[in-house]
Chain A
Amino acid sequence: MNGVHDMGGMHGFGPVEPEPDEPVFHAEWERRAFALTLAMGATGQWTIDASRFAREDWPAPAYLSRTYYEMWLAGLERLLAERGLVSGDEVEAGRPLHPARPLDRVVDAPAAMRMVRSGGPSNRDAPRPAAFATGDRVRTRNLNPPTHTRLPRYVRGKVGTVVLVHGAHVFPDVNAHGGGEDPQWLYTVRFAGRDLWGPDSDPTVSVSFDAFEPYLEAA
């Protein structure tokens, strides 16, 4: 979706203000919101891509007025409500009011630690040969789905060069919406800064991003 989360190349947000000795969490509830999101993700009730969509699919004012972990919590509350795991009155009350729906999979603390350390690899067996190879010139398609995508706006309809071929990976655009993993070839594509940002761009700049094959056509 063309949401406000897709900020690449946008002006108007002011300078970055680095924080000295920035802590991982600024409050205890942030740690908890993060842990809750990971623990609930492990129940298999939704995918990581559905989880990302639940955080980005918001009106711009709601998105921009929340802090990072407020957004995580809002996304989690939405996923829980959509799947009938927590109801609005329970969120309001901050405690369970109705009998809990049993889940097939629940993680305890040691399992959560193993999960965080092992990660969740997205590489899969390739269903077909790759359409592109290193060195190929490719054009990004001008796709504007209202659903989840990892194709940033600033890079649509641009010509670049394939610099890495990563094998096949879970395709977030489909996996976010219950369509299964639909593995697709994944490439790193490099663009000259001037092809993205015009003649005033720093001539030394290049930008690389990871593109799933459905985002690309031969140039």
Chain B
Amino acid sequence: MLRDFGVELPEDTEIRVWDSTAELRYLVVPVRPEGTEGWSEDDLAALVTRDSMIGTGLAARPEQVAA
């Protein structure tokens, strides 16, 4: 199903599915993209997408948001 969202992961990536069946909601903390060492919190926040917080995508790469 991740492929439907255009996401390809290495075969050995552990997949943890969370089915939010009660009133509690869960957010994914996206993996920090490579090449963002030393970035400020605001700059990093610009890489965070909705999909990266619900487990259907990765955070944007630096070149995707280059000003």
Contacts from A to B (Cβ < 8 Å) = 8, 15-18, 120-122, 150-152, 155, 166, 169-170, 172, 186, 193, 202, 204-212
Contact = CB atoms under 8 A, between A and B. Distances in A.
B22 interface: yes
B42 interface: no
5 contacts: A16-B1, A18-B6, A150-B22, A152-B19, A208-B17
Nearest to B12: A204
A215 to B, nearest CB: 9
B20 interface: yes
Interface of B: 1, 4-6, 12-24, 51, 56
B22 A169 contact: yes
A204 B15 CA distance: 6
Given A16-B4, A18-B4, 11 more contacts: A16-B1, A17-B4, A18-B6, A121-B23, A150-B21, A166-B22, A204-B14, A207-B19, A209-B19, A210-B19, A210-B21
Given A16-B1, A18-B4, A204 B22 contact: no
A186 B13 CA distance: 29
A205 B17 contact: yes
Contacts of A212: 22
Contacts of A207: 17-19
A204 B16 CA distance: 8
A37 B15 CA distance: 35
Contacts of B56: 18
A48 B51 CA distance: 27
A211 B15 contact: no
Given A16-B1, A18-B5, A18-B6, A8 B19 contact: yes
- 5 A-B pairs with the lowest CB-CB distances in the bound complex, closest first: A210-B22, A16-B4, A122-B23, A209-B19, A207-B17
A29 to B, nearest CB: 23
A205 B13 CA distance: 9
A190 to B, nearest CB: 8
Contacts of B1: 16
In this complex, which of B14, B18, B19 has the most chain A Cβ atoms within 10 angstroms of its Cβ? B19
A204 B19 contact: no
Nearest to B13: A204
Contacts of B22: 122, 150, 166, 169, 172, 186, 210, 212
